Structure formats: C-alpha cells, structure tokens
Amino acid sequence: QVQLVESGGGLVQPGGSLRLSCAASGSIFSMYTMGWYRQAPGEQRELVASITSDAKTNYTDSVKGRFTISRDSAKNTMYLQMNSLKPEDTAVYLCNADREPKYYWQTFNYPSRAWGRGTQVTVSS
C-alpha cells in the first residue's frame, strides 16, 4: 500500500516559521517527483513547491524566498521549511507524489500518483 503522511502543521503568528514533513511508505518514492499543495477554504488547490528525484525544485511565486522544499531519500521523507509566514499562507497543506516517466518500468505496479490527507497551517495573531 502506498501512503503519504504529513505532519508539522499548526498555529503560528505572522512572521513565524513551521516545518512540514511528509513521510512516504516505501523506497519507490525516490523515483517520484514530490510536491506540496495547499488549499484554503473556497479556493482551488494550488501547487506550492515541488522537488524531482534529482532535487530540482520549483516554487510558486508567492512563496519564493520564504519556503524551502527538500527531501531525504534515505528516510523517504520530504520537508517544507516555511519562514516569514503570512496570514494568506493559511491552508491545508497536502503532500503529493507523481511518478516520473523515466521510472515507469520500476514502478508500474504502484500508483502513478498519491496524496496525503493534509495538515492544517494557520497563520494568525
């Protein structure tokens, strides 16, 4: 079974920091692009940041310079370090994994995409 489990959310004041973690079951996630999405009430889900199997990163403009995505393949864990948090960062943050096409034959017995259940991040004074 493929599982992604997020942790690290909570309530923080504006300007504060949080570190989110996403623990993945199985070493196959080293062959997936991992990402953090967020969804605020009444809003569409948006991609916050992603990291490929070879550590190439991508960020949405609103978090550039404040958030840092990383992954530890040995621990099957992905992280999102969030600094200088703003009230508009408030959302449920979800972990995502998308199989990379170059690894199709090593992972075809597993889902091509997986989601965690999410962790709430609230930025408020």
pLDDT higher than 70, residue 43: yes
pLDDT higher than 90, residue 28: no
pLDDT higher than 80, residue 46: yes
**Buried b / exposed e along 46-80 (16+ C-beta atoms within 10 A):** eebbbbebeeeeebeeebeeebbbebeeeebbbbb
Mean pLDDT of 100-104: 90
- The string of pLDDT tens digits covering residues 58-76 is 999 999 999 999 999 889 9
**CA proximity to 56, closest of 95, 17, 105, 100:** 100
Q: What is the mean pLDDT of the chain?
A: 95
pLDDT higher than 90, residue 1: no
